[in-house]
C-alpha cells in the first residue's frame, strides 16, 4: 500500500498541521486495510495512540470501542484523539448504515409482514411443523425379527450342538434338501434357530450358502405344515435385515407363496406369513406396492375379528402400519379406501399396542398430503382420534399428536374439523406435560395452530420451548387475524408474558415478539396509546428501550421503530381538553366523558 506524502513524519512534537491530514488518511483506510498493510504503515507512525488505533480497528468489536476510546484520551493528546475517534465513528457508522440497509431488505423477505396473504402464512405454518411430519425409525420399527424368549435360552445349546457335531452351513443346506422329512425339518429348524439368535445372526452367510431357494420351496409343502412354519419363520428373520437382505427374499419369489399361506388352515402358518410380508412391505414403497399389487390387503383385513388371538391381531395391525407408511409415493388411493374402515374399528381396541399402531397408521396417511387427509376425515375417524390426545399412555398420545398435527397442516376446512372435535381443550395439559417426548411434538403443533385459535395455545407459564412456539402463534395472529381476535388476546392478558420474552437469549424469539408488539400497536389505531400504556405498565417499554443496544441489528431497528412511533413525545401537541379542571377544594378533576363505559374495543 502506498503512503500519503503528508503522513510521513518521524518526529515527535506539536506538528498538528502536518499530522492531521496523515491521520485522516490513516483513519479512512484502516477499516479496509489488511493486517500486512497496517504493519507496513506502522513503521511510519510510531505514536502509541496510532498503533493502538490500527490494532483495535482490525481486531475489536463494537463492544470494545469504549475501551480503546479511553486509551486514546489517556495519552495526553485529546485534540488528536477527538479527531481520530470522530473520523473512525463516521466511517464505521457509514459502513453500518449500508449493512443495516442490506439486513433490512433481507429481513423484509424473511420476517412477517402484514402484506402476506393467507396462503403464504399457511405454507409457513406447514414448514414450522416439518419435524412433526418426519417418520422416525426409532419411534416405530419398520421390521421385526421373530425371537421367542424360549429360543433365546436354547440358542447356546443349539450352537454348542453344532460345534460338537462339527456341523457346518453346508451340512444344513444339504440336509434341508433331504427326502427324509425328519432330517429336512431338523435342518430347516436349525437354520431358523441360527437366524433367531440374539447375537448377530449369520444372515449373509446363510444367503451365500444358497439356502434361500430351499426355504422358499418348503413354503409350498402343504403336506408338512411344520416345515412351512419353520421355513416361513427363517425367511421372516432374513427379511428383517438390511434392504439388500430383504430384496434377496423378494427375488427368490417368496412373496406369492407367502400370500398363498394367508389362506392356510393352520393359524401359526398364517401368522408367520403375515409377519414375513410385514417385513417385506416395510422395506420401502417399491416393495409395498409390489405386495399390494399381488393382493395382500383383502386377506390381511379378513383376520380382523373378535376370535383372532391378540398376538396375531397385533401383527396384522403392524402390517397395516407398514402399508400406510411412506409418502414418496403414498399408498394407492384404493388401498387407503380399503384400510380406513378397518382402522375405524381398531381405534376402539383396548390393547395399547394395537391402538398405538392404529394411530400411527393414521399419522402416516395424513402425512402424505391434503387429499389423503380428506380421505381420513371422510372416514369419520377424527372424532375418535382427537380424544386420544389425553390418553393415559404416552405412546398413544405421541402418535395422536402427530396424526392431529398432520391434519392441521392441511386446509383451513380440514383444520376446522379437528377444532370442532374440541382438540384445544386437550392443549393445557399437553403444554405442561412432564414427558419430553410429548413436549417435542406439541411445540411445533402449537405454533402451527391456525392464527384464529392461537390464544388457546398460549401458556401462562412453562418451559422455554412451549413459550417459544406460543410466541410464534401469537405473532401469526397479529398478522392474519382480525382486530376483534387481537382484542381477545389483550383481554386474555397476553401483553405481560409476551413482553417477558424480550429478555431471552434467543434472538429469533425476541424478533418475533417485537414484531408482534409492533403489529398490535399498529392494528390498535386510535387506541395505540392504551396498548402502549399496557406495555409500559408491565415493564415492556423498559425492555424495548434496552433492546436498542442489542448487538443484533434487526432487533435494534425493530426496538427503535417501536419507541419512535409509539413512545416518543416528539411532535405531540398539547391537547387543552386534557388540562385538569379546577374544582372546589383546590384539587383537579379529569374529563372522563370520552371514555367508553364498556372499555376499549379494537
CA dihedral 464, 466, 470, 471 (to 10 degrees): 20
Same domain, 190 and 98: no
**Residue 108: how many other CB atoms lie within 10 Å:** 11
Q: pLDDT for 284-313, tens place per residue?
A: 999 999 999 999 999 999 999 999 999 999
Same domain, 102 and 168: no
Q: What is the DSSP string of 534-563?
A: HHHHTTHHHHHHHGGG-SSHHHHHHHHHHH
Same domain, 158 and 215: yes
177, 214 in Cβ contact below 8 A? yes
Predicted pLDDT at 323: 97
Same domain, 268 and 147: yes
User: Which of these three, 264, 283, 302, is where a domain ends?
Assistant: 283
405, 469 in Cβ contact below 8 A? no
The 8-class DSSP code of residue 269 comes to: H
Same domain, 265 and 151: yes
The x, y and z cell numbers of residue 220, run together, are 409350498
Q: Total structural domains in the chain?
A: 2
User: Which of these three, 261, 283, 305, is where a domain ends?
Assistant: 283
User: How far apart are the C-alpha atoms of 451 and 477, rounded to whole Å?
Assistant: 4
Same domain, 88 and 160: no
Is 124 part of any domain? no
Cell 406369492: give the residue. Answer: 256
Same domain, 153 and 271: yes
Same domain, 151 and 94: no
Does an H or E element contain 315, and which?
helix 310-324
Q: Distances from the Cα of 84 to the Cαs of 17, 314, 319, in angstroms? A: 14, 79, 76
Name which of 22, 71, 20, 17 is nearest 48 in CA terms: 71
User: Which of these three, 238, 266, 283, is where a domain ends?
Assistant: 283
Predicted pLDDT at 542: 92
> Could you tell me how far CA 102 lies from the centroid of its own chain?
29
The x, y and z cell numbers of residue 235, run together, are 425367511
299, 259 in Cβ contact below 8 A? yes
Phi-psi region for residue 13, left (φ > 0), alpha (ψ -120 to 50) or beta? Answer: left
Is 597 part of any domain? no
User: How far apart are the C-alpha atoms of 175 and 372, rounded to whole Å?
Assistant: 50
Residues of the chain with pLDDT under 50: 1-52, 54-64, 68, 71-73, 77, 83, 87-98, 103-118, 121-139, 151-166, 450-459, 571-602
Name which of 445, 418, 443 is nearest 432 in CA terms: 443
Is 30 part of any domain? yes
Same domain, 88 and 155: no
Q: Distances from the Cα of 341 to the Cαs of 101, 288, 304, 329, 397, in angstroms? A: 58, 20, 11, 22, 22
Same domain, 151 and 278: yes
The SS3 of residue 589 is strand
User: How far apart are the C-alpha atoms of 404 and 385, rounded to whole Å?
Assistant: 8
Phi-psi region for residue 284, left (φ > 0), alpha (ψ -120 to 50) or beta? Answer: left
The x, y and z cell numbers of residue 297, run together, are 390387503
Same domain, 102 and 229: no
Q: 349 exposed, middle or buried (CB, 10 Å; 0-12, 13-18, 19+)?
A: middle
Mean pLDDT of the chain: 74
Predicted pLDDT at 119: 52
Dihedral sign, CA of 581, 584, 586, 590? Answer: negative
Q: pLDDT for 518-530, tens place per residue?
A: 999 998 888 888 8
Predicted pLDDT at 461: 52
Is 222 part of any domain? yes
Phi, psi of 332 (to 5 degrees): -60, 145
Q: pLDDT for 90-117, tens place per residue?
A: 444 444 444 555 544 443 344 333 334 4
> Could you tell me how far CA 346 lies from the centroid of its own chain?
29
Name which of 397, 479, 496 is nearest 440 in CA terms: 397
Is 474 part of any domain? no
Strand partners, 582: 588
Name which of 301, 375, 300 is nearest 331 in CA terms: 375
The x, y and z cell numbers of residue 574, run together, are 398539547
CATH of residue 195's domain is 1.25.10.10
Is 309 part of any domain? no
The x, y and z cell numbers of residue 569, run together, are 413525545
Predicted pLDDT at 370: 94
Is 252 part of any domain? yes
Angle value at C-alpha 298, between 314 and 269, nearest 5 degrees: 55
User: How far apart are the C-alpha atoms of 446 and 463, rounded to whole Å?
Assistant: 13
Is 450 part of any domain? no
Same domain, 106 and 167: no
Domain holding 168, by residue range, is: 143-283
User: How far apart are the C-alpha atoms of 573 and 577, rounded to whole Å?
Assistant: 12
Q: The pTM is what?
A: 0.61
Q: pLDDT for 320-374, tens place per residue?
A: 999 999 988 999 999 999 999 999 999 999 999 999 999 999 999 999 999 999 9
**Residue 258: how many other CB atoms lie within 10 Å:** 25
Predicted pLDDT at 438: 72
Predicted pLDDT at 484: 85
Amino acid at each position: 500500500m502506498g503512503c500519503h506524502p503528508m503522513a510521513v513524519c518521524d518526529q515527535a512534537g506539536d506538528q498538528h498541521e502536518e499530522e492531521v491530514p496523515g491521520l485522516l488518511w490513516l483513519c479512512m483506510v484502516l477499516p479496509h486495510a489488511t493486517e500486512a498493510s497496517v504493519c507496513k504503515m506502522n513503521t511510519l507512525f510510531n505514536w502509541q495512540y496510532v498503533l493502538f488505533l490500527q490494532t483495535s480497528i482490525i481486531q475489536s468489536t463494537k463492544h470494545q470501542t469504549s475501551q480503546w476510546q479511553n486509551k486514546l484520551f489517556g495519552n495526553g493528546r485529546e485534540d488528536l484523539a477527538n479527531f481520530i475517534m470522530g473520523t473512525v465513528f463516521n466511517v464505521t457508522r457509514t459502513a453500518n448504515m449500508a449493512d443495516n440497509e442490506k439486513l433490512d431488505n433481507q429481513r423484509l423477505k424473511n420476517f412477517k409482514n402484514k402484506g402476506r396473504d393467507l396462503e403464504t402464512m399457511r405454507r409457513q405454518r406447514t414448514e414450522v411443523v416439518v419435524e412433526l411430519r418426519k417418520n422416525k425409525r426409532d419411534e416405530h420399527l419398520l421390521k421385526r425379527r421373530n425371537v421367542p424368549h424360549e429360543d433365546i435360552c436354547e440358542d447356546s445349546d443349539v450352537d454348542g450342538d453344532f460345534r460338537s457335531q462339527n456341523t457346518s452351513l453346508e451340512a444344513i443346506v444339504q440336509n434341508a434338501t433331504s427326502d427324509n422329512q425328519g432330517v429336512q425339518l431338523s435342518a430347516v429348524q436349525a437354520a431358523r434357530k441360527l437366524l433367531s439368535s440374539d447375537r448377530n445372526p449369520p444372515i449373509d452367510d446363510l444367503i451365500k450358502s444358497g439356502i434361500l431357494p430351499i426355504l422358499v420351496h418348503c413354503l409350498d409343502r402343504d403336506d408338512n405344515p411344520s416345515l412351512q412354519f419353520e421355513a416361513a419363520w427363517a425367511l421372516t428373520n432374513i427379511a428383517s435385515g438390511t434392504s439388500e437382505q430383504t430384496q434377496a427374499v423378494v427375488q427368490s419369489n417368496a412373496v406369492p407363496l407367502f400370500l398363498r399361506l394367508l389362506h392356510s388352515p393352520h393359524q401359526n402358518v398364517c401368522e408367520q406369513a403375515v409377519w414375513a410380508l410385514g417385513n417385506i412391505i416395510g422395506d420401502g414403497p417399491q416393495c409395498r406396492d409390489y405386495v399390494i399389487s399381488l393382493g395382500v390387503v383383502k386377506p390381511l383385513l379378513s383376520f380382523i375379528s373378535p376370535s383372532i388371538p391378540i398376538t396375531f391381531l397385533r401383527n396384522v395391525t403392524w402390517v397395516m402400519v407398514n402399508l400406510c407408511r411412506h409418502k414418496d409415493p403414498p399408498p394407492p388411493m384404493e388401498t387407503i379406501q380399503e384400510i380406513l374402515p378397518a382402522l375405524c374399528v381398531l381405534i376402539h381396541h383396548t390393547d395399547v399396542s394395537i391402538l398405538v399402531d392404529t394411530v400411527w397408521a393414521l399419522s402416516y396417511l395424513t402425512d402424505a398430503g391434503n387429499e389423503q387427509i380428506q380421505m381420513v376425515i371422510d372416514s369419520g375417524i377424527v372424532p375418535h382420534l382427537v380424544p386420544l390426545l389425553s390418553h393415559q399412555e404416552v405412546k398413544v398420545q405421541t402418535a395422536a399428536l402427530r396424526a392431529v398435527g398432520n391434519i392441521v397442516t392441511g386446509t383451513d376446512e380440514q383444520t376446522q374439523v379437528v377444532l370442532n372435535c374440541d382438540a384445544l381443550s386437550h392443549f393445557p395439559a399437553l403444554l405442561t406435560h412432564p414427558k419430553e417426548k410429548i413436549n417435542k411434538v406439541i411445540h411445533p403443533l402449537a405454533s402451527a395452530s391456525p392464527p384464529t385459535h392461537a390464544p388457546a395455545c398460549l401458556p401462562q407459564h412453562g418451559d422455554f420451548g412451549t413459550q417459544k412456539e406460543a410466541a410464534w402463534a401469537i405473532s401469526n395472529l397479529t398478522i392474519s387475524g382480525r382486530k376483534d381476535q387481537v382484542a381477545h388476546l389483550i383481554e386474555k392478558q397476553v401483553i405481560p408474558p409476551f413482553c417477558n420474552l424480550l429478555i431471552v437469549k434467543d434472538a429469533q424469539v425476541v424478533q418475533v415478539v417485537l414484531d408482534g408488539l409492533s403489529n398490535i400497536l399498529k392494528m390498535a389505531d386510535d387506541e395505540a396509546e392504551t396498548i402502549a400504556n399496557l406495555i409500559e405498565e408491565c415493564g415492556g417499554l423498559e425492555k424495548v428501550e434496552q433492546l436498542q443496544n442489542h448487538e443484533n441489528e434487526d432487533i435494534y431497528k425493530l426496538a427503535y421503530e417501536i419507541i419512535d412511533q409509539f413512545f416518543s413525545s416528539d411532535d405531540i401537541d398539547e391537547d387543552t381538553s386534557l388540562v385538569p379542571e379546577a374544582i372546589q377544594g383546590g384539587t383537579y378533576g379529569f374529563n372522563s366523558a370520552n371514555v367508553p363505559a364498556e372499555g376499549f374495543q379494537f
